[in-house]
Structure 1
Amino acid sequence: MDFLTDFIYQFFKPRNKRIDRYTMEAGDIQEQQLRRLLEQAKNTSWGKKYDYKHVAGYDDYKNRFPVQCYDQLKGDIQRMLSGEPNVLWPGMVHWFAKSSGTTSDKSKFLPVTPEILKQCHYQGGFDTVCLYLRNNPSSHFFRRKGLILGGSHSPSPINAQIHCGDLSAVLLQNLNPLVNLVRVPRKEIILMDEWESKIKAIVESTWREDVNSLSGVPSWMLVLIKAILKKSGKTYLTEVWPNLEVFFHGGISFTPYREAYKSLILSDKMHYMETYNASEGFFGIQDDPSDPSLLLMLDYGIFYEFIPMAELDSENPSVIPLTGVEVGKNYAMVISTAGGLWRYLIGDTVRFTSVSPYKFVISGRTKHFINAFGEELMVNNADRALHEACVATGARIKEYTAAPLFLLDRAKGRHQWLIEFEKAPESLTQFASLLDEALQHANSDYEAKRYKEISLQPLEVIAAHEGCFYRWLSSKGKLGGQHKIPRLSNDRKILDELLVINRQMGE
């Protein structure tokens, strides 16, 4: 490390010891989080309604009220948006993360309290840098600039004292001013509303800077990188920013984008580090560069529960605390947070790869999988299979989505994939065949349904025209920020909309 980075890192080092406690003290840490949450919220409307003062322990807590989705909390959140204090969390909440989700056009407004900002989101950013520097002692992280690509925010139409926006914009607006000394672009640029104008402004203000770190969603950062290269007339990003050393990414799986980034950033010193920072909270950090799993962050003002995916749609599914999970199983994640979310079904699914410490991979969404024929295909299966097909054919993928196609006349069906290639394979037929084989290797249920084409015929791949997914997002008002393409759907609504756009572009 250079002197400045090494000097600043000394303030990070003590945190490493606390993170190392996760391995031996996970259960105790989580119990402590639950006790603190209940104590803090006992005098709120919600705390009084469910008598938080007299909760005896976890079993008592989970019997107070059922696991809930946004719709069950929506009425209380609307009261908070109107300025009412002490509803789900003490005090008046001035900031809300606006999340349109990926299953509908309606927005969700998630409270961003001062506690969840400091204890969770900002602590997550601090810990990400802490773990990165521990793993990379030759870093010059604080000597140069970090480029953060985020969204925008605006006053709530309900109450002028309240602001709503992408989580990234809320975080940037409330960031410690000292961080701005090592961050680009300027706040007024990063918070611009109109996406295409924002990209142009970011390019103009940063392409001559000495940038060594990137932070953002892989799909949108790739758009910015290409705009930077076009402006500079360079082929590789390392020609523009020769000191680039790390990309902190999250929001969507990096697997489909990895080869595209490697083709544009030719450096054996480049690092890629995944984080799991959702609108609801900061949950995980990749603490080992050789392991794609994420370390579950246990002391961020979040209490975790999990529902086995096999039971999610049953009348009385099992709900277990962190200490009850098993390696290899898919779980729907339930959280109680210092942001006022209580036993909230976040919508993401995880699979644990270790319980000492607790490490996991994001396996998909509770509503984003394909199980039309009993195949139970999850997003992580799809990402892994696509990666294998790309490696075998030299293809690179920009975006994709898939849905079932029902062949009712034959009582069978297949999966239909729409893929926008960064670099197309020589043979789409060969690519489809390799993808189909890789899916069978990744998912035994898919393999069983493909056996002798009992219920699933070979999948179909349709090549999307360049910009097809971009047009679809634009039509939904979802350009930039943390918006993302739904990868897998159990119905054809999204795919059919995209296919119409793709046909129009080909006419």
Structure 2
Amino acid sequence: MEVINTFMTWIFKNRIGQIEKFKNNPLEIQHEILFKLIYTARDTEFGKKHHFRQISSYKDFNQWVPMHDYESIMPYIEQTMKGQQNVIWPTPIHWFSKSSGTTSSRSKFIPVSPESLEECHFKGGKDMLSLYVTNYPNTKLFTGKSLSIGGSLQTNPLDYNKSSSYGDISAVIMRNLPKWAQLARTPSLEVALMSEWEEKIEKMAEETIGENVTSLTGVPTWTLVLIDKVLEKTGSSNILDVWPNLEVFFHGAVAFGPYRNLFQKLIPSEGMHYMETYNASEGFFGIQDQIDSDELLLMLDYGIFYEFIPMEELEQEQPTVIPLDEVEVGKNYALLITTNAGLWRYKIGDTVKFTSIRPYRFKISGRTKHFINAFGEELIVENAEKAIENTCKITGASISNFTAAPVYFGDNQEQGTHEWIIEFVHFPEDRETFVRILDEELRAANSDYDAKRYRDMVLKLPIVHLVEEGLFEKWLKSKGKLGGQNKVPRLSNNRDYLDEIVRLL
């Protein structure tokens, strides 16, 4: 295994030169990608409709190709799901990623072309490993297996020929991995793609207990559920008793900060590493490339062209749209992507904030629809997650999930406030202290929230429900959203989610 580890480490290190190329020439790479995408799709139904053969500049592209949300691009996707090809992309599309992104009642189906699989999702996975082995040259990663938690797949009922399928992007990727990658992962594909999540976690624990697991890949919430099941079955106090060679957790989908302390308790090793990725249904966008920073490197050669909308203009009828060379450090932008799977100027729904432009590094700041601004406080997910993380550090608590929404004036409320439901793995010793510190951390993270909290004039102290683990899982199950990429919304500007969960208390 040492020989294999040395060989694989050498293989993955060789990609670093290509990463350095796009870091040093970001705008040239993005220009090449845009016009390659336009040229490739020039004779698709979408390309003909939007004059792709006449586009010779970014100005033309901006003028002739409209921005899309899911509702406006959905007719093209539905045509493709019904078996029509060459609609939005020329190569046959037989895979679709089912994504709600949140727990909305309506699912989104994102096309996954052969190019997006190979040149984006697979390439992202390889680059994740390349950056890891470069940062940790003494790694023993390839002496064992990667434990990955995937979703599930099913046949596309709209396709009369039954030649296409859909599922979580993790399941689509897992099903299409090359043989060498299948041999390097656990559990078996049959178990990894099971659709019934409670049985799946049970069988995953059974299959992986005896494996030499050196890395974990997945969403923090579901990874914790699996770790708890493994500890329950083995009677161990920490996961290193089961997997002594575990050295890294590749994580994404939700911010890791609120979970870090809990993982460090379950994996008490100074040699354990945590590496964040930004891999969504629509594409693989970013990877943490520095050891001592949680910033993400924007991956610029994956067949994706990036544009950005300043958040203050998002709701305008004709917002300003800018390419990569016009972004500014510290500003909040809604992300707009054009991809090698036929998403054209698509508003993905995520917001980002650049921390550097040489090279382009950023942080995920939230969702375009996930915020609280009921009283002018403009609280975004980034603020909430940072406040929760700091509050847990100060109080010694550990959480598994949270959500929050406004409480409006009226209904015997003289002031507005925010109502939180926080699910704990380890409760704080004093609940009132936790609430007070959370409020202080929110005020420190967001000046608008702080101003509204001044002397309780607009907002009073938050209402916080401190609950045991299991409540959010119960709610997700009641919605038919248990497992996969379904998540509890961190923040909402209405009370739809929160009122449903409160009724389960």
1:475 maps to 2:470: no
Aligned to 2:116: 116
**Aligned mate of 1:177, from 176, 179, 203:** 179
Question: Aligned-pair distance for 1:374?
Answer: 0.8
Distance 1:250 1:103 in 2: 17
Helix, strand or coil at the partner of 2:503: helix
Distance 1:59 1:456 in 2: 45
The amino acid across from 1:413 in the alignment is G
Helix, strand or coil at the partner of 1:456: coil
Helix, strand or coil at the partner of 2:93: coil
Aligned to 1:486: 489
Distance 2:184 2:468 in 1: 39
Distance 2:111 2:215 in 1: 29
The amino acid across from 1:142 in the alignment is F
Contact 2:404 2:490 in 1 (8 A): yes
The amino acid across from 2:319 in the alignment is P
Aligned to 2:94: 94
1:13-92 pair list within 5 angstroms: 13-92=13-92
Helix, strand or coil at the partner of 1:501: coil
Helix, strand or coil at the partner of 1:172: helix
* TM-score where L is the length of structure 2: 0.98
Aligned to 2:462: 459
CA displacement 1:163-210 (0-9 Å, x = unmatched) = 010101100111101111111011111011111111111111110111
Aligned to 1:320: 322
CA displacement 1:284-329 (0-9 Å, x = unmatched) = 0000120101000000000000001111112221100011111111
Question: Aligned-pair distance for 1:341?
Answer: 0.2
Contact 1:80 1:92 in 2 (8 A): no
Contact 1:428 1:461 in 2 (8 A): no
Question: Aligned-pair distance for 1:91?
Answer: 3.1
Question: Aligned-pair distance for 1:109?
Answer: 0.5
CA displacement 1:359-380 (0-9 Å, x = unmatched) = 0110000000111111111111
Distance 2:11 2:33 in 1: 24
Aligned to 2:208: 206
CA displacement 1:204-230 (0-9 Å, x = unmatched) = 111011101000000001000000001
Distance 1:27 1:231 in 2: 52
Contact 2:373 2:493 in 1 (8 A): yes
Contact 2:103 2:486 in 1 (8 A): no
Aligned to 1:424: 427
Q: Which segment is superposed worse, 270-279 or 480-489?
A: 480-489
Helix, strand or coil at the partner of 1:323: helix
Aligned to 1:12: 12
Percent identity among equivalent residues?
A: 51
**Aligned mate of 2:352, from 344, 350, 353:** 350
Helix, strand or coil at the partner of 1:480: coil
Q: Which segment is superposed worse, 411-420 or 254-263?
A: 411-420
**Aligned mate of 2:449, from 441, 446, 449:** 446
The amino acid across from 2:56 in the alignment is A
Distance 2:199 2:47 in 1: 45
The unaligned stretches of length 5 or more in structure 1 are 503-507
Aligned to 1:433: 436
Question: Aligned-pair distance for 1:411?
Answer: 5.6
1:295 maps to 2:300: no
Question: Aligned-pair distance for 1:2?
Answer: 4.0
Question: Once superposed, which parts of structure 1, at least 4 consecutive aligned residues long, lie more than 6 Å away?
Answer: none
CA RMSD of aligned residues (A): 1.2
**Aligned mate of 1:413, from 409, 416, 420:** 416
Aligned to 2:270: 268
Distance 1:13 1:495 in 2: 46
Contact 1:2 1:139 in 2 (8 A): no
Q: Which segment is superposed worse, 140-149 or 338-347?
A: 140-149
**Aligned mate of 1:194, from 196, 211, 220:** 196
Question: Aligned-pair distance for 1:103?
Answer: 5.3
Question: Aligned-pair distance for 1:67?
Answer: 1.4
Helix, strand or coil at the partner of 1:272: strand
The amino acid across from 1:127 in the alignment is D
* TM-score where L is the length of structure 1: 0.97
Question: Aligned-pair distance for 1:231?
Answer: 0.7
Contact 1:329 1:351 in 2 (8 A): yes
Structure 1 residues 120 and 196, CA gap change in structure 2 (3 angstroms): same
Contact 2:151 2:171 in 1 (8 A): yes
1:369 maps to 2:377: no
